[in-house]
Structure 1
Amino acid sequence: MLLKTLSEVNGTSGAEKEIRNTIRSEIALWVESTFIDKIGNLIAHKTEIKNTPKVLLTAHMDEVALMVTEITSEGFLNFRPVGGIDPRVLVSKPVKISGVNGVIGAKAIHLQKMQERQQALKLEQLYIDIGSKSKEETSKYVKLGDYAYFTTEFESLGHGLLKGKALDDRVGCYILTEILKKTFDLSLVAAFTVQEEVGLRGAKVAAYHLNPDFAIVLEGTVSAEMAHLEEEEDWVTELGKGPAISILDQTTLYNPQLIQQVVNLANHKKIPFQFRRGSSGGNDAGKIHISREGIPTLSINVPCRYIHSGVSLVNKADIENTIRLIEAILKAIPHDYNFGQENGGILK
């Protein structure tokens, strides 16, 4: 399964080469051309048809990871996160650095004072242990600036769930790849972007360069339907309820008219969907929609449990229905639509 491959390939912000090459090879037969811009985005032109709107689809390639910042005299590795990672989820996680296996360690509970046991471990209290005995030995295998990746194996879990690392946003990359294998009667370009997790940097470059008439961001987003959280208020999204349409987040206020048109289309096509019920976080839409004179932008998201950790869960049906919804949107865009019309509609 392609999603398994995308999940298990490593590629954090600024180090997306391996995942970029994997995607480029996968889509080569389905697009007219590909190129890599100066910041590292993979740009793929699917079709270019005169007098039709140019539509941009994006998904970011980078994943959260760790960067080695110090090798101690004992041979341990101090690190900092690349992207937003909660230190509380890191203890005892297996990782790999430059081909070397390691484990994230901390002072054992038996050695902690009572006051220490009552507080969550901080990043400074964690380290990576690769089993070496000295700084000199560790330095043979690892250098400062190397990335440490989680080693989660992708697999099916429970009733229709998929488990893996980096599903934010390899699930979006997978959906975009599948969309590029289909045929659409409009000008379509895809951007597999870099450095989303550290400031939406690749999307800013891609949007300015490509200057599309309309953009859709494909993203994996938080799902927190857990027993100790209040339903509706804190769950944000739910697995199995379909793709989540963003209304508001920290970087974007989405156009209500565009959202309503997608809702009408989903209802007409009998595609299940939900709204992203939360305003925290952000994605590449934050840079795309304010590029140049402004670009009408939607964000369609696949719910993911345990996002920004070593392992996430997604629902296979949600992925399939997201593909259905994106395909329906692209086929519904009229050729003569003027995206500059304030009261116009993007859909037939």
Structure 2
Amino acid sequence: MRQKLAELTWLDGISGNEQNVRNFIIQNLPDKSLKYYVDNIGNLIVKGRSNGNCNLRVMVAAHMDEVGFMVNYITDDGKLKFSPVGGVDSRILIGQHVRVGKDKIPGVIGYKSIHLQDKSERESVVKIKSLYIDIAAKDRENAQELVSTGDYVAFASEPVFFGDGKIKAKALDDRAGCAVIMELLKETWPFELYACFTVQEEIGLRGALVAANRVKPDIGIVLEGTTCADVPKVKEHETSTVMGKGPSISFADRTSLADRELFNHFINTAEKEGIRYQIKNTVSGGNDAGRIQTSGTGVRTLVVSVPCRYIHSPVSVLDLNDLDNMLKLVSRSLHTLPEALGR
């Protein structure tokens, strides 16, 4: 799973442009006999193996897309102006390496040199509209030979295993969830399981709603990468999760409320099996559960996340032991779910 995670983060999959990630997952399905479907918006839905008669339909979801940018204008001197796709902090962008378009043209995000900035510019946060991408083009015509307006722009960073069981990479939110679901598809389930690799989560949870309306699940389990605030100057009560303390179980966020029976079942499973876990301490952020929960006639949902430092940046950090424990927690909780629900 760890190697698959690294390979997934190599791929560029900005919201609306997830096909490379989707194709990789299809090519690496653990059983070529598994039936899958790609819907009109680009979600990949895979039906897991089942050997039970339980009339329960479970949707396990993770999103394939990542934050990035889109070229919206080419200047006379060949620089690329761009817009964000998803939530990105402009303070981290200056000097970042990027890849532009299908040909992955190398570029760097630039801004006026500090030597040329006045006092107000040095003391304020630069706006994205003031930045540009330099692809070393001599003029607009030269740039247009390489890229076009509408081209996607991804961070150009590579996955690296480092420290004591850590990985640093882009797009850990949510290739981590995708990697776990790929492992879950190796198992046989006592109910109908649908693995949904969704699109366009970062720009409004769009794919999840479409997938949920197709699958019509009774239960929705969302696997995510979430904020990890165990960094200096963050107050204890504002620390959402702590790296190394296991996957987090959310009781609520800005888009969904956890089903209490599911919430308690996953906690009881972790306690019984000795799986390290934590409760997410803040009610912040949103994810695919918000759309799954309110799809159809309503779905009982729960979010399980792996803590990631510096998400929505060129390089986030994840503890691989947390990822392993996320797989254990979800797998063992789902296998005992019918009994826990009296089904």
TM bucket normalised to smaller: over 0.9
3-state SS, counterpart of residue 158 of structure 2: coil
Instruction: Answer yes or no: is the 8 Å Cα contact 1:224–1:236 preserved in 2.
Output: yes
| One-letter amino acid of the structure 1 residue matched with residue 151 of structure 2 | D
Which stretch has the larger CA shift, 248-257 or 65-74? Answer: 248-257
Moved over 4 A (4+): none
Q: Which residue is equivalent to 2:11?
A: 9
Matches of 1:147 and 1:51, distance apart in 2: 44
The 5 Å alignment of 1:213-228 reads: 213-228=218-233
* Cα shift at 1:153: 0.8
Aligned match for 1:77, one of 58, 80, 96: 80
2:271 corresponds to 1:267: yes
2:338 corresponds to 1:334: yes
* Cα shift at 1:32: 2.4
Instruction: Answer yes or no: is the 8 Å Cα contact 2:70–2:150 preserved in 1.
Output: yes
Describe the shift of the 1:51–1:260 C-alpha distance in structure 2 as closer, same or farther (beyond 3 A).
closer
Instruction: Answer yes or no: is the 8 Å Cα contact 1:31–1:46 preserved in 2.
Output: no
How high is the TM-score relative to the length of structure 2? 0.96
2:273 corresponds to 1:278: no
3-state SS, counterpart of residue 338 of structure 2: coil
Aligned match for 2:187, one of 179, 182, 200: 182
3-state SS, counterpart of residue 98 of structure 2: strand
Matches of 2:73 and 2:284, distance apart in 1: 32
Q: Deviations over 1:191-244 (max 9, x none)?
A: 00000001111100111111111110000000011111112x222111100000
Q: Which residue is equivalent to 1:60?
A: 63
Aligned match for 1:239, one of 218, 234, 243: 243
Q: Deviations over 1:49-103 (max 9, x none)?
A: 5443111100000000110000001100000110000111111000011221000
Q: Deviations over 1:234-274 (max 9, x none)?
A: 22111100000011111011123321221111100101111
Matches of 2:86 and 2:20, distance apart in 1: 18
Q: Which residue is equivalent to 1:256?
A: 260
Instruction: Answer yes or no: is the 8 Å Cα contact 1:31–1:45 preserved in 2.
Output: no
2:120 corresponds to 1:101: no
Q: Which residue is equivalent to 1:339?
A: none
Structure 1 residue runs without a partner (length 5+): 336-344
* Cα shift at 1:30: 5.8
The 5 Å alignment of 1:1-348 reads: 1-27=3-29, 29=31, 32-48=34-50, 49-98=52-101, 99-231=104-236, 233-334=237-338, 345-346=340-341
Matches of 1:46 and 1:85, distance apart in 2: 35
Instruction: Answer yes or no: is the 8 Å Cα contact 1:200–1:283 preserved in 2.
Output: yes
Matches of 2:49 and 2:186, distance apart in 1: 11
Instruction: Answer yes or no: is the 8 Å Cα contact 2:43–2:199 preserved in 1.
Output: yes
| One-letter amino acid of the structure 2 residue matched with residue 74 of structure 1 | D
3-state SS, counterpart of residue 334 of structure 1: helix
| One-letter amino acid of the structure 2 residue matched with residue 181 of structure 1 | K
Q: Which residue is equivalent to 1:338?
A: none
Give the percent of matched residue pairs that are identical in Structure 1 and Structure 2: 43
3-state SS, counterpart of residue 188 of structure 2: coil
* Cα shift at 1:281: 1.1
3-state SS, counterpart of residue 191 of structure 1: strand
RMSD over equivalenced CA pairs, Å: 1.4
Matches of 2:210 and 2:22, distance apart in 1: 17
Matches of 2:186 and 2:94, distance apart in 1: 41
* Cα shift at 1:28: 5.5
Matches of 2:315 and 2:33, distance apart in 1: 32
| One-letter amino acid of the structure 1 residue matched with residue 337 of structure 2 | I
Instruction: Answer yes or no: is the 8 Å Cα contact 1:165–1:311 preserved in 2.
Output: yes
Describe the shift of the 1:51–1:334 C-alpha distance in structure 2 as closer, same or farther (beyond 3 A).
closer
Instruction: Answer yes or no: is the 8 Å Cα contact 2:265–2:333 preserved in 1.
Output: no
Matches of 1:235 and 1:34, distance apart in 2: 39
Instruction: Answer yes or no: is the 8 Å Cα contact 1:203–1:284 preserved in 2.
Output: yes
Matches of 2:10 and 2:88, distance apart in 1: 18
* Cα shift at 1:347: 7.2
| One-letter amino acid of the structure 2 residue matched with residue 216 of structure 1 | I
Instruction: Answer yes or no: is the 8 Å Cα contact 2:49–2:187 preserved in 1.
Output: no
Describe the shift of the 1:161–1:51 C-alpha distance in structure 2 as closer, same or farther (beyond 3 A).
closer
Instruction: Answer yes or no: is the 8 Å Cα contact 1:73–1:134 preserved in 2.
Output: yes
